[in-house]
Amino acid sequence: MARLDRVKNLTGLVELYAKSPKLRELVNLVVVGGDRRKESKDLEEQAEMKKMYSLIETYKLNGQFRWISSQMNRVRNGELYRYIADTKGAFVQPAFYEAFGLTVVEAMTCGLPTFATLHGGPAEIIVHGKSGFHIDPYNGEQVAETLVNFFEKCKKDPSHWETISTGGLKRIQEKYTWQIYSDRLLTLAGVYGFWKYVSKLDRLEIRRYLEMFYALKYRKLAEAVPLAVE
C-alpha cells in the first residue's frame, strides 16, 4: 500500500512474487497503489504502471494477484488491513528507502505480521523475528525465501502467525501510541522551554513554532472532537 513511485518498489514486490513458484502456491498478492481509472500525468508513475501490466501478462498473474487503486478513505484502508489479517495474511513494505513507515505502523496495529525494508525507519519500528521481519528490497530472491519460510511455518504451526501478530501489537503499544507521543511531546516542550529561557528566544519565533504544530497536527484533531450536547 503506497504511491506508485520507483522508491516504493511495488512493482519489485510483484516481480519477486511472480518469480517464486513456492510463494505463489502458498499465498495470493494484493497491491494498493496508483489509480487505474485514469492515465497518470507523472512519467515515473506511467513507467511503473506499464511495468505492472507487463508483469501481470508475462507471469500470468490473473487469479493470484489483485491490484487495487489507492484508497483515500482511512476507514476503508483499516478494513482492508483487517480483512488480510482475518485471513491470516501478512503485510509487506518493500520500499528501497522509507523515512518512517506509517503503513508499517498501521498494519502492525491491525495485527498483521509485517515484513518491511531495513533501509530507514521500519528497521527501528520492527524487532526482527519478534514483532515482524526486516527485508532487503535489493535482494528479491531472499525476500521471497523469507516469506515462503514464514508461511510454510504458519502452515505447520498456526500459532506462529499469532506469535508474530501479538509481537507486533505489543511493539506498537510500547512505542507508537498517542499516549507515548504526547508524553514525548511534553518532554520536548520542557526542553524547548529551557532552551527558550537560556537563549532569550524572540516571542515571534515562539508563535511561529506553535502555529506550525497547530497547522500540522492539532487542527484536524481539534475539528474531529464532537461538540458537547447540552
> 150-196 pLDDT, tens per residue?
999 999 999 999 999 999 999 998 888 767 666 766 676 666 665 56
Mean of the per-residue pLDDT values of the chain: 88
Task: Give the β-pairing of 29-32 and 91-93.
Answer: unpaired
Residue ranges of alpha helices (H) inside 31-139 are 43-58, 74-86, 102-109, 122-125
Cβ-based burial of 119 (10 A; exposed 0-12, middle 13-18, buried ≥19): middle
Task: Quote the CA–CA distance of 134 and 121 in Å, as a whole number.
Answer: 11
Contacts of 170 (CB under 8 A, 6+ apart): 131
Maximum distance among all alpha carbons in the chain? Answer: 66
Task: Supply the pLDDT for residue 201.
Answer: 55
Residue segments in the chain with a per-residue pLDDT below the cut of 70? 178, 180-182, 184-186, 188-206, 209, 230
> 189-217 pLDDT, tens per residue?
666 665 566 565 556 666 776 777 777 77
- Give, to the nearest 10 degrees, the angle between helix 102-109 and helix 74-86: 50
Task: Supply the pLDDT for residue 214.
Answer: 73
Task: Supply the pLDDT for residue 89.
Answer: 98
pTM: 0.78
From the CB of residue 38, how many other CB atoms can be counted at a distance below 10 Å? 8
Task: Quote the CA–CA distance of 4 and 69 in Å, as a whole number.
Answer: 10
User: For residue 136, which amino acid is it?
Assistant: D
- Give, to the nearest 10 degrees, the angle between helix 102-109 and helix 159-175: 120
- Residue 137's φ and ψ, nearest 5 degrees, are -65, -15
